[in-house]
Amino acid sequence: MNDPFDGPEPGHAQVAAHTIDLTAVADRVMGHESVRDCVLRVRRSCAGVAELVAYVVPTRQVSEEQILRAARPALPAAVTLAAVVFISDLPRTAGGLLDEAVLARFPVLEGDLAARWERRWTAWVGSSRNTGQCAHACRDRAGTR
């Protein structure tokens, strides 16, 4: 059975009524000096909407915003990457092909959720009361108490 997000030809997908060349977008992302490898996949959001996800293997620190900017020229104006997942390497089968089953198991955080958690964590760590708790917990783990 075909996936409803499959495009008219291999390597293409339907997102927001647009046909996306996944390889062209991945090539744009890999053109960034801090990216070694990249693959794009379409996933279904909680609402059932097709969303583009980029799985990126960086060579050094690179931000999600930099990846979004790199991908932008290869995407229609109405489409953007819904998520960027940074991984240490693309999963491969014993035969060297991309392991789609393993790739599908990588967690993808919704952009809003990730931003909310980052704000909460920053607020919690930033308060002087919690900074002491955090340092205390780190000393306990390291056995330096």
pLDDT digits (tens, 9 = 90+) for 95-107: 999 999 999 898 8
Q: What is the pLDDT of residue 123?
A: 75
- For residues 85 and 67, the answer to whether their CB atoms sit within 8 Å is no
Q: Is the dihedral of CA 37, 108, 22, 102 positive or negative?
A: positive
Q: What is the pLDDT of residue 32?
A: 97
CA distance 88 to 111: 20
Q: What is the pLDDT of residue 111?
A: 58
> Chain-centre distance of CA 136, in angstroms?
33
- Residue 13's pLDDT band, with cuts at 50, 70 and 90, is confident
List the structure tokens of 125. Answer: 């760590």
- Residue 1's pLDDT band, with cuts at 50, 70 and 90, is very low
Highest mean pLDDT among 9-18, 41-50, 77-86, 112-121: 77-86
- For residues 42 and 21, the answer to whether their CB atoms sit within 8 Å is no
Q: Read off the pTM.
A: 0.72
Reported as a single tens digit per residue, the pLDDT across 67-79 is: 999 999 999 998 9
Classify domain 1-108 by CATH number.
3.30.300.30
Reported as a single tens digit per residue, the pLDDT across 79-89 is: 999 999 999 99
CA distance 101 to 93: 10
DSSP state of 13: E
- For residues 84 and 64, the answer to whether their CB atoms sit within 8 Å is yes
- Residue 112's pLDDT band, with cuts at 50, 70 and 90, is low
